[in-house]
Structure 1
Amino acid sequence: MALVPLNLLVTHEGRSSRQRITCRYKCGQACFHPAPNTSDNEYFGDIVAALTRRSALKAAGVAVLAVGAGSALAACSTAAPQATPTSSPEPVPNPPGMNFTAIAPNSEDVVVIPDGYRQGVVISWGDPVLPGAPAFDVNAQTADAQRGQFGFNNDFAGLLAIEGSTNRFLLVTNHEYVTPQFMFTGYDAAAPTRAQFDIEIAAIGLSVVEVERTPDGLRPVLGRYNRRITADTPMMLTGPAAGTDFVKTAADPTGRTVAGTFANCAGGVTPWGTVLSGEENFHTYFGATEGTPAPSPVVSDQFKRYGVKPAPSELLWESFDPRFDLTATPNEVNRFGYIVEVNPWDPASAPVKHSALGRFKHEGATIHVTDDGTVVAYTGDDERFDYMYKFVSSKKVMPGAGASGATGGIPDAASMAHNMTILDEGTLYVAKLSSDIPAGEIDGSGTLPASGSFAGAGTWIPLLRTGPDGRGESLIPGVTAQEAAVFTRFAADKAGATKMDRPEDFEANPKTGKVYVALTNNDERGVPGEAGPDAANPRNDNKSGQVLEITDDHAGTTFTWDLLLVCGDPAAADTYYGGFDKTKVSPISCPDNLAFDSHGNLWISTDGNALDSNDGLFAVALEGPNRGETRQFLTVPLGAETCGPVITDDLVTVCVQHPGENDDNSIDNPLSRWPEGNNGTARPSVVAVWRDGGNIGV
């Protein structure tokens, strides 16, 4: 396989390798505009740590209520922090779960996997999902066909076991955004057609697809659970935002029924058998005609804090449907930016948008359950200088027949009805971090402090308490409950939350209860007018990101934290790999999605690798002498991003998003032909990797 020159992959000077065209349609070129957070919240260099680092949190055993097949989501008790070893034993040559030969960084237009493993495409954009849907034909696309076919740009994936079968699963996948230049031949960005708009509406949202395990990987099945959820599927809005004047429209005067979901990035599988999907860069879908008068100052501030611009949007959807026109329907944008819960076991059920979890650019939401059944949902706001959140339920999980994804099963109606209201009652918190590392030792260079690691403490500041029937109580003076639910960023600003470097996926380790956060990057850290470096975000011009490790009092308000990884070139002085020998690690850059294997290893997928290589999937050891050892398991093709990893004992799946996207290319002039090869079309796809006769990494 010939290598493509690496310089084709990089156009963001000083930034990640994500292409401008990807940024245009995925996030509205967020990195090329001022960050929306203009609050003057303190950062570590300005504060004397108000919290002392706790030596231990409550220790208890692990109690698993339910785990979706291959999911990193588990019901765990609070875990004690690991003691620092008094000696330094030799690293284990092959930690359990990581016994594979790391692949080398590369720029091949294929999925590259370790020797001894096999791979296969599970499903690709345009493949039939519903009976009667036609086979994919790039030159014969219609909206009706797309509504029955697998959507575009798959991101998060969850795999749920089906009761009574060891080889059947539900694959639930987000479809984050569309890139028309890589969907439609002859696309004219200045004059999209009504037919193209209708196809785009149908190409995003989610897919629920039954899959069967075979000797050649996973095969899609036209099963009874299969479903497409699109940008106009009816959904319920619950919590303090529902029924308020902020979300009422002429089409929905009650403010409780929303048409569709989009910008669905990461997500999570709940222990009760549903899927959570995060609406992230929703602002890019709304616009207004050039020269539209400015909105009122209050609305203008609301728009700015969420990156909403009353100007023509990239997709020009406002030309075809007034609900996307900020002038005609200004409240429509307030109906997006929530966590969406989908019951994949009932294709007729209406998805639910939970406003009790706040409205912002949710990367996703993942669940931890304490010993007493309290549900904790962790979620990040994926924007430079925005925040980390958690929601602690006041309701408890109701076990029910078939509720355990570990054994597979369809939850019974009573438990499902109860559990799908858990995220409607409880308290929403935002994180504030501190450290006793002297400010002079955090100079923006990433140099380790004298203590040898970046570490500190933190507190969860309560923002919003929600009770039965969506009744809310704001916990921030001067902010109403409805405002805290719809304009959560403002409430978090007033609370003095810590500005982070793009907090993306949150995952709790099912073995230890520790919580991990992927902080992807932030090249504006330290520039004039923006927050400077702090112990948790220690580098100015942060191109490669870091991974935060939190030991949390899950249902409480205190935690301690460490940086597990400060990503980037291992040969550079500003990188840190958990204290492991950096000459023996795989280079990792721009961590995005997280998952765990049954051995307790962390798996990280990347987005925008700034090290001149394709994005990929990495395994990281978390405990003992191998802590911080990082091994690359796979890379995705040219122009692609690695998304939605699912790690089981004998199978790994990843979503390959936007293969071939490059500023100088299009579907008419392709950079990539993956996965079809020859003269085929580059198509976002789900890929499975396995090992004949053996488990992953052992």
Structure 2
Amino acid sequence: MNLPMLGHTHGNRSAVTCHLKCDSACASPPPNTSTEPTFAEIARGQLSRRAVLIGGGALAATAAAPALVPQLAAATEGRRAPGESTIRGPLSFQPIAPVDAAKDALTVPPGYEWTPIIRWGDPLFHNSPAFDPEHPNAEAQELQFGYNNDYLDIMVTDRAGREALLVCNHEYTNRDIMFPPTDNEAQELEVIRTLMAAHGFAVVELRRRGKGKPWKYVRGGEKNRRITAYSLFSLTGPAAGTDLLKTAADPSGKKVYGTVNNCAGGTTPWGTVLSGEENFNGYFKADPAVPENARYGLTGSSVYGFEKVDPRFDATNPDYVNEPHRFGYIVEIDPMDPTSTPRKHTAMGRMKHEGANVRVDDDGTVVAYMGDDERFDYLYKFVAKKKYRKGDSAAARRHNLTLLTEGDLYVARFSGQQKPDNANLGRGVWIPLTQNGKSMVPDMSIEEVLVFTRLAADKMKATPMDRPEDVEPNPRTGKVYVACTNNSQRGTDGKPGTDAPNPRPQNKNGHIIEITEHKNAANATTFDWNLFLVCGDPEESGTYFGGWDGPVAPISSPDNVAFDSAGNLWISTDGAPSGIGKSDALYRVPVQGRERGHLVQFLAVPSGAETCGPVIHDLDGSVFVAVQHPGEDGSWEEQQSFFPDYVPEGSRPDRGDWRGPRPSVVQVTRA
């Protein structure tokens, strides 16, 4: 395996993960080569801890030269010493200390225990074959739980709290640790088909004895479902049926087989699940000389070799030159109806969607917030044309299932202009890319805007961000939180420099932005914003934790976020601060009140793993996470993790009794 990122990763991130998940994107120049003026050329607002307005938890901007950026949120001298502080609330716990990255264990607070709900390869249906990685088989994998689950939700479906649906996506695969080496080409082609079947989604019924008790999955549940890289999807919205989406296999331009690299997501008020097709570029063989391909990071070769078993993934073939245009959308799945056809919504734009999270205002206005997970790409929102209808009637549900097919698409431009009372660091505007079914971008049709959304946003001078990943509105306050994971090329030669919403050069640890829509209206076209967290080791200068001046846990690369019933923010990470050698983790941090910014660690995942898809049922005493890519750097012969099926004293079992790593959905409950 060629690993361009070997020796260049940050913290505990594996070069293997970089290669398989995003085609080693950071080893290549960022696809955004736009030369449009950025906010950095207008105002370079820098921050100091002494500029913090402690009472409101907001920041005042001060002008500073780029050389002063390391002084962001001044050094940490004078902080209170770490203490044994128990976090109070519906889910009380004793925070854990950071865990050594080499430890092959899932660590939870005292008084809690963890158990896997479901693992890669577990049989979902009565006719599902038993898990047998020694003999890869695509038909078997289509009937089993998939690999590397990322977005997750546990949807309780009865009033007694004893039945639920688990819905998650399966982002990518790691052939070298999943299956043994093959003897011939025919065997290897079956491995590729099996990898395709391990992508996609799973819907699984759950049951338990009562509230607060552990869940168990139901084999053969009526709503159990697998969606894979082979499954039929329909395309919706203005770009569906246009020439840009037609191929030899689909002259209608309205249906697609398969979905890949689904990352974060969201659950809608009408009971469907959204997910983003993120790094789809790595799945296609394509011509990088085509500007539209280059802007989306498509290179001359693919990571997985799917084109060897399915010609659709060879976009150098004139019959399939448009096939990459059919990936990169927000996908909507109805878990309540296992016979329904999942959809890809072109009205929400095409990019490397991390996910989408929906907010519904009192008047029924529906908005979805989205990030394009790439260095120097943009933040978006979609405002639906139709209003949400309350109620569980069949008519209301049919109507709500159409909400994401029509609407207006916006991209964010940040500025540093402050309000007179300095209550916010800056302001921003949502720039329309489409409006009332028409393009708002000069010299681009609406289908061009929706298929080549990045190029449209370039033209409209959006603000290049540090990998905006999960974007989620707080259900209690309406404020929107944007997790910017990192961007090691910020401020390097020839790249955009620092600015107020992206304040650090070579930003290795990431930050979180807090947005307040004007008039607290979801369809507002302007907003205020501030920096809520500037991540890293709190002992280093440059970190900031919402105005909190006491001890906090080190954190890097915020990825997925979620909220508990009290409106506290929970953050899962995709990397740890360099130099401290700690595992990825899940954190909790209040966003308001006296403890705003008081970040503590709840759990740590095993060696090589990433924490994904947090679900917080704090009133039920439960936390759920998807543990992705444990033991990523291993091989079939030399596995580096035995999660979650550990054996006594870490001894290695016989190969016939599989104990290599299995990405899993884990529940944490009170012991």
How would you bin the TM-score normalised by the shorter chain? 0.7 to 0.9
Checking the alignment, whether the CA contact within 8 Å between 1:36 and 1:305 is kept in structure 2 is yes
Checking the alignment, whether the CA contact within 8 Å between 1:383 and 1:502 is kept in structure 2 is yes
Residue number in structure 2 paired with 1:66: none
- How far does residue 667 in structure 1 lie from its aligned partner after superposition? 2.5
Checking the alignment, whether the CA contact within 8 Å between 1:49 and 1:434 is kept in structure 2 is no
Q: Which among 670, 676, 680 is matched to residue 639 of structure 2?
A: 670
- Give the 3 Å change call, closer, same or farther, for CA 191–635 of structure 1 in structure 2: farther
Q: Which among 539, 543, 556 is matched to residue 524 of structure 2?
A: 556
Checking the alignment, whether the CA contact within 8 Å between 1:282 and 1:336 is kept in structure 2 is yes
Q: Deviations over 1:8-53 (max 9, x none)?
A: xx96436242211111111000111110000123333312699xxx
- How far does residue 240 in structure 1 lie from its aligned partner after superposition? 1.6
Q: Give distance in 1, aligned partners of 2:376 and 2:569.
A: 25
Checking the alignment, whether the CA contact within 8 Å between 1:159 and 1:646 is kept in structure 2 is yes
Report how many residues are paired: 609
Query: What is the identity, as a one-letter code, of the residue corresponding to 1:559?
Result: F
Gaps of 5+ in 2: 46-54, 59-79, 648-652, 654-658
- How far does residue 393 in structure 1 lie from its aligned partner after superposition? 1.1
Q: Secondary structure at the match of 1:210?
A: strand
Q: Give distance in 1, aligned partners of 2:503 and 2:182.
A: 43
Q: Secondary structure at the match of 1:647?
A: strand
Checking the alignment, whether the CA contact within 8 Å between 2:107 and 2:605 is kept in structure 1 is yes
Q: Determine if the alignment matches structure 1 residue 272 to structure 2 residue 270.
A: yes
Residue number in structure 1 paired with 2:89: 96
Q: Which among 454, 464, 488 is matched to residue 434 of structure 2?
A: 464
Q: Determine if the alignment matches structure 1 residue 302 to structure 2 residue 292.
A: yes
Q: Secondary structure at the match of 2:594?
A: helix
Q: Determine if the alignment matches structure 1 residue 577 to structure 2 residue 545.
A: yes
Q: Determine if the alignment matches structure 1 residue 262 to structure 2 residue 238.
A: no
Q: Give distance in 1, aligned partners of 2:25 and 2:182.
A: 24
Q: Give distance in 2, aligned partners of 1:175 and 1:424.
A: 24
Map 1:181-260 to 2 at 5 A.
181-186=176-181, 193-214=188-209, 217-222=214-219, 223-260=221-258
Q: Deviations over 1:45-97 (max 9, x none)?
A: 312699xxxxxxxxxxxxxxxxxxxxxxxxxxxxxxx9569xxxx99973425
Residue number in structure 2 paired with 1:682: 661
Q: Give distance in 1, aligned partners of 2:227 and 2:313.
A: 19
Q: TM-score, normalised by structure 1?
A: 0.84
Q: Give distance in 2, aligned partners of 1:33 and 1:188.
A: 34
Checking the alignment, whether the CA contact within 8 Å between 1:355 and 1:424 is kept in structure 2 is yes
Q: Give distance in 1, aligned partners of 2:630 and 2:599.
A: 25
Residue number in structure 2 paired with 1:343: 334
- How far does residue 229 in structure 1 lie from its aligned partner after superposition? 0.3
Map 1:262-661 to 2 at 5 A.
262-287=260-285, 300-309=290-299, 311-328=300-317, 329-401=320-392, 412-436=393-417, 455-465=425-435, 472-553=437-518, 554-582=522-550, 584-611=551-578, 612-649=581-618, 650-661=621-632
Checking the alignment, whether the CA contact within 8 Å between 1:233 and 1:259 is kept in structure 2 is yes
Q: TM-score, normalised by structure 2?
A: 0.87
Query: What is the identity, as a one-letter code, of the residue corresponding to 1:267?
Result: G
Checking the alignment, whether the CA contact within 8 Å between 1:432 and 1:460 is kept in structure 2 is yes
Q: Secondary structure at the match of 1:628?
A: coil
- How far does residue 610 in structure 1 lie from its aligned partner after superposition? 2.8
Query: What is the identity, as a one-letter code, of the residue corresponding to 1:314?
Result: V
Q: Secondary structure at the match of 1:632?
A: strand
Q: Give distance in 2, aligned partners of 1:585 and 1:12.
A: 29
Q: Give distance in 2, aligned partners of 1:576 and 1:627.
A: 12
Query: What is the identity, as a one-letter code, of the residue corresponding to 1:656?
Result: V
Q: Deviations over 1:606-640 (max 9, x none)?
A: 00223421101000011122110001000000000
- Give the 3 Å change call, closer, same or farther, for CA 43–262 of structure 1 in structure 2: same
- How far does residue 188 in structure 1 lie from its aligned partner after superposition? 9.1
Q: Deviations over 1:524-571 (max 9, x none)?
A: 000011100011111111110001100113211010001110000101
RMSD (Å) for aligned C-alpha atoms: 2.4
- Give the 3 Å change call, closer, same or farther, for CA 581–84 of structure 1 in structure 2: closer
Checking the alignment, whether the CA contact within 8 Å between 2:553 and 2:599 is kept in structure 1 is yes
Gaps of 5+ in 1: 1-9, 51-81, 289-293, 402-411, 439-450, 467-471, 693-698
Deviating above 4 A after TM superposition, structure 1's stretches of 4 or more consecutive aligned residues are 82-85, 90-93, 187-192, 451-454
Higher mean Cα deviation, 102-111 or 487-496?
102-111
Query: What is the identity, as a one-letter code, of the residue corresponding to 1:17?
Result: N
Q: Give distance in 2, aligned partners of 1:454 and 1:525.
A: 23
Checking the alignment, whether the CA contact within 8 Å between 1:454 and 1:563 is kept in structure 2 is no
Q: Deviations over 1:647-694 (max 9, x none)?
A: 0122100000000002xx2122111111112331100000000114xx
Q: Give distance in 1, aligned partners of 2:663 and 2:183.
A: 21
- How far does residue 414 in structure 1 lie from its aligned partner after superposition? 2.1
Query: What is the identity, as a one-letter code, of the residue corresponding to 1:561?
Result: W
Q: Give distance in 2, aligned partners of 1:517 and 1:136.
A: 39
Checking the alignment, whether the CA contact within 8 Å between 2:193 and 2:309 is kept in structure 1 is no
Residue number in structure 2 paired with 1:54: none
Q: Give distance in 2, aligned partners of 1:498 and 1:216.
A: 46
- How far does residue 140 in structure 1 lie from its aligned partner after superposition? 2.9
Q: Secondary structure at the match of 2:202?
A: strand
Q: Secondary structure at the match of 1:671?
A: coil
Q: Deviations over 1:305-363 (max 9, x none)?
A: 00011x23121111221100011211111000000100111111000111000000000
- How far does residue 415 in structure 1 lie from its aligned partner after superposition? 2.1
